[in-house]
Chains A and B, each alone.
Chain A
Amino acid sequence: QVQLQESGPGLVKPSETLSLTCAVSGYSISSDYYWGWIRQPPGEGLEWIGSIYHNGNTYYNSSLKSRVTISLDTSRNQFSLKLGSMTAADTAFYYCARHSYYYDSSGPKAGYFHHWGQGTLVIVSS
């Protein structure tokens, strides 16, 4: 069974860059699947940040695209999120997740977020 675990700083200063890592066990991230990041401000809803395919292709939320980088580290079986120019509005629980797969007439597609990490709270404050 695949398991995901986020790690990173719980506190980031305004204007700094957030770096989070998602360690994956039970599956090799270089083999297949899309891997994503989702965030949730305390008491609010879920926002997709971005995802990466096992081949390194990336997909970002247009509202965050200028500040986001997602990358794979296959040697450590983990993937990472970098979010620049942090502000208080970026305070949130950050989750990593693995998409499901489905197939349509054009081939395999990234599905819903099937497996989730437990999440990590990141607070932006000086």
Chain B
Amino acid sequence: DIQMTQSPSSLSASVGDRVTITCRASQDISIYLAWFQQKPGKAPKSLIFAASTLQSGVPSKFSGSGSGTDFTLTISSLQPEDFATYYCQQYNGYPWTFGQGTKVEIK
């Protein structure tokens, strides 16, 4: 199985900060990586797929990059509504696996 490792597990940031979250795959997954945002009590919401393609309706402050084994999610200017937990998911093949999550908290 492909293991997905996110870092950090949590971070504290202020409104307006630039935030970067990293996801590393245990083997080459090409660009088959998605990012999700999850707020308390809600289902995950897809933000980015194919490593860098923004989902329709997702603001451009979110961006993704990477290929192979190393990927990043960047939020260019953190806003109050962005405080949430973020997950990566690889879909290079079955079994589909998620990172352990990164919780973005208010400093």
Q: Which chain A positions have C-beta within 8 A of B44?
A: 46, 95, 113, 116
Q: Which chain A positions have C-beta within 8 A of B87?
A: 45-46
Q: Which chain A positions have C-beta within 8 A of B99?
A: 45
The yes or no answer to A110 lying at the interface (CB within 8 A) is yes
Asked if A117 and B98 sit within 8 Å, CB to CB, the answer is: no
Asked if A59 and B43 sit within 8 Å, CB to CB, the answer is: no
Main secondary structure of the interface of A (DSSP, over half): strand
The yes or no answer to B59 lying at the interface (CB within 8 A) is no
List residues of A (77-110) whose CB comes within 8 Å of B's CBs.
95, 99-100, 102, 109-110
Interface size counted on chain A using CB atoms at 8 A: 23
Question: Given A109-B91, A110-B96, 13 other A-B contacts at CB below 8 A?
Answer: A46-B101, A62-B1, A62-B95, A100-B91, A110-B94, A111-B32, A111-B91, A113-B46, A113-B89, A114-B46, A116-B43, A116-B45, A117-B43
Q: Give 19 A-B contacts (CB < 8 Å), ordered by A residue.
A: A45-B98, A45-B99, A45-B101, A46-B44, A46-B89, A46-B98, A48-B95, A48-B97, A100-B91, A102-B50, A110-B94, A110-B96, A111-B91, A112-B89, A112-B91, A112-B96, A113-B46, A113-B96, A117-B43
Q: B residues bordering A, Cβ < 8 Å?
A: 1, 32, 34, 36, 42-46, 49-50, 87, 89, 91, 93-101
